[in-house]
Amino acid sequence: MRSIQLLFGLMFLVLVLGCGDEKKVKVLRLAHGLDITHPVHKGMEFMATKLEEKSGGKMQLAIYPSGQLGAERECLELLQIGSLDLTKVSAAVLENFAPGYEVLSLPYIFRNREHRYAALDGVVGQQLLDEGEKYRLKGLCFYDAGSRSFYTKGKPVQTPGDLRGLKIRVQKSKTAVNMIEQLGGSPTPIAWGELYTALQQGVVDGAENNPPSFFFSRHYEVCKFYTINEHTSVPDVLIVGTSTWKSLTPEQQGWLKAAAMESAIHQRVLWQASEQECLAAVKEAGVEIVYPPKEPFAEKVRSMYDDYREQPEMMELIEQIKAVKSTTRP
């Protein structure tokens, strides 16, 4: 009888100790709208692995992809009220919360990929990440989202004139709306999750996005023309709610920030490989890929920069980005 009691006592002790260890694990919830095959999602999976490694298992990341917890704007609002810990959103959507991000949506603000990386990794990038704290949205890092180009149903876009009269889906961003208007199209803000049906039903004639998003969304099944004019290079931003951030110890904050930065560098490698694979895949699926001269598009939107001359802070950000020297960092 005594041995049975001892056995039960040991089992109870193990159970109590196990529960105690479990309580020490800090689990952060990260939600986003992308498919699990997307290179940005894979970058966040890499971050989850690194966070667990750096914390010795004391911190973990639970990822909810594919819009399980809402669209980008909804996730940002959940962060602000402390009901969600982290999310990944486009800087174009974030500009509605933190105005400084607007400059990243300006067409042709980056000279090339290297210039973009140098700007986002430097003082300007950190300034923008920090700006969101005023709105309870702390930026941790930028994820590469490549360059956005047009894809259409009825005809290819060879010149800006080909956009005249076309309804083009854009993100819910005033900068994106202004750009399409300058190019002669009719901007139509539609949530990403609703776009496939909108294209099918003719609500819009086309959209604009990067090659992986064009492929993984299966929009190539509806739109058979893809124009690589690369008008914008809007990055994705990994955001943590300030209520979550302030609840972490300095050590935990260090683990999270380090894991995020490492994942950003890793994700760039994934992105560049995915871009080539996705372009090859949509071409194989019958999409006509067009490479028009970019200068006519850039010329059409040049006046957008004049609108900021009355906004000294925004103009300073623009000039800072232009002054950044390119690097060869991956």
Compute the average pLDDT of residues 103-110.
96
Answer whether 151's CB lies under 8 Å from 214's CB.
yes
Answer whether 212's CB lies under 8 Å from 38's CB.
yes
Count Cα neighbours of 245 within 13 Å in the Cβ-side half-sphere.
19
Compute the average pLDDT of residues 126-147.
96
Tell me: the pLDDT tens digits for 168-195? 999 888 999 999 999 999 999 998 889 9
Tell me: the pLDDT tens digits for 205-259? 999 999 999 999 999 999 999 999 999 999 999 999 999 999 999 999 999 999 9
Tell me: the pLDDT tens digits for 272-327? 999 999 999 999 999 999 999 999 999 999 999 998 999 999 999 999 999 999 76
Answer whether 259's CB lies under 8 Å from 253's CB.
no
Answer whether 93's CB lies under 8 Å from 76's CB.
yes
Considering the chain, what percentage of its residues have pLDDT values greater than 90? 87
This prediction has a pTM of: 0.86
pLDDT of residue 327: 65
pLDDT of residue 22: 45
Q: pLDDT at residue 1 above 50?
A: no
Q: pLDDT at residue 91 above 70?
A: yes
What b/e readout covers 127-162, taking b as 16+ CB neighbours within 10 angstroms? ebbebbeebbbbbbbbbbbbbbbbbbbeebbebbeb
Q: Hey, what amino acid is at 131?
A: E
CA distance 325 to 221: 40
Q: pLDDT at residue 33 above 80?
A: yes
